[in-house]
Amino acid sequence: MRGPHNIWRLIRTGATLERAGAMNHALDAFEAGPLLRAVARTLAFPFRWLGYKGDPSLPPVSRALTALGPAYIKFGQIMSTRPDVVGPEMANELRVLQDALPPFPVAIAEEEVERELGIKVDDVFSEFSAPVAAASIAQVHKAVLKDTGAEVAVKVLRPGVEKAFRKDIDAFYFAAQMVEFLSPSSRRLRPMEVIRHFDGVVQGELDLRLEASGASEFEANTAGDTGFSVPPVFWHLSSRRVMTLGWVEGVGSGDNDAIDAAGHDRARLGARVLELFLLHALRDGFFHADMHQGNLKISENGDIIAYDFGIMGRIDEYTRRVYAEILFGFIRRDYRRVAEVHFEAGYVPANQDMDEFARALRAVGEPIFGMDASRISMGRLLSYLFEVTERFGMQTRTELILLQRTMVVVEGVARSLDPHINIWEVAQPIVEDYIKESIGPKAVIRDLSRTALVLARFGPRLPELAQAALVKQGHNSGDDEENTHRHGWWFVGGAAASGLVIWLLALSGAF
């Protein structure tokens, strides 16, 4: 329950921030006003000695969050995906947060597996290793299935993690309420909405069935992608607190020496990482939103293997088309078209000056295109783009922020593999192909066919709907019989036109 009992938690949090030298950084990130700063310092400074020391080798904010424990680490990781809230500098610092936490004993993990799955570990697994990775929410064990000999990764939630997170999230809500009350200027960043977003992400990660579902969907979407693989889900060995995936072997994507020793082409791998991200985002609208080096391996045959599907991004088809047109416009340096797309999508209010907006976009694009290939950054472009659109009244769109953050991470992976990669040369064919498929004549026919199919489902009800429309118009118009018939015929005519569209599309083979 949110209330005054959370004050002690906030004092301990403030004391740790103060002791780690992170208080000013945190207050600046949330644009705290004078009153909030005074209250924070009053509550934190006298109790500085109560704060956790943390690791002095880490940057101040990361040091404080790591010392405060799992919920705070996870909060920092999620905030690293929201530069719109904490600013690009803070978001970049928070990316260094690691889930290197002490593991819990293997015996407890085995008990959890047996309780959740209703099995005996020794009956199902011929081997069940000590933890190979320990994170804020769960840890992973390598195991071998007794019946098939297949190697699998078994992910198990930490005991009591749900209760521990619930307490800390409760304190976060209380803190957000205090921030909004004490610092009206911070309301622009919507602190309560930020905590609700964090709460939603964490609740999703606390149910491993949802992560397994994301992994399964991602595997199905990418099954035909050359040079890429996703470990399969073992559904009969997965539940709310346990998830089992195929084990992946390979070289870490951040270990260039090992990649070179294995004889892989790093330039090709760098380009492929970027191609795959764009392909998944544009083609499927479902992408790995935590695609850093720690979640990618290179297999013996050179395939890129992705794992850890706790954070996945999803964008609808309309947003994909808008995003592709924006990128395509920048690739062609057609800033007028980029501006038109923003206005057409409603991202920029109609009362803004389109010519001024196009001129601002040119100021964003031209300096970047003037750089040499090794410095051209799509992530930087998107970051500058959001700054410009904010000046022209564009509201924050969370799905685009997540997309932009992932683009920055993927760029970093690609450049670590090939420092001379030309981001735009790699992106252009992917974006062009998507434009042809989603905006050209084929797309028009496909959209019409979908619309016709939806209308066709109402076929048996058309007489009933027409009658209802006639009766309704009769009631609305009184005795105006001519008006009633006119509206009724419009409805019947629309239904007939829909039927004609369906018939034509059927003749053309669209169905």
CA atoms within 13 A on the CB side of 128: 21
Of the candidates 223, 284, 282, 295, the one whose C-alpha atom is nearest the C-alpha of residue 253 is 295
Catalytic residue among 170, 225, 290, 308: 290
Return the residue matching tokens 């000590």. Answer: 130
Give the integer Cα–Cα distance in Å for 68 and 44.
14
The H-assigned helical ranges of 80-141 are 83-86, 88-94, 106-117, 121-124
Strand partners, 253: none
Angle at CA of residue 407, ends 406 and 411, nearest 5° = 115
| Closest C-alpha among 251, 295, 250, 257 to residue 277 | 295
**Interatomic CA distance for residues 424 and 414, integer angstroms:** 12
Let me know if 290 is a catalytic residue.
Answer: yes
Q: Which two tokens stand for residue 145?
A: 């299935």
CA 328, 334, 336, 339 dihedral sign is: positive
Q: Which one, of 140, 145, 113, 115, lies nearest residue 129 by Cα?
A: 140
Burial of 55 by CB count in 10 Å (0-12 exposed, 13-18 middle, 19+ buried)? exposed
DSSP strand E in 193-327: where? 228-229, 242-246, 251-252, 286-288, 296-298, 304-306, 312-314
d(CA 162, CA 136): 11
Q: Which residues are catalytic?
A: 290
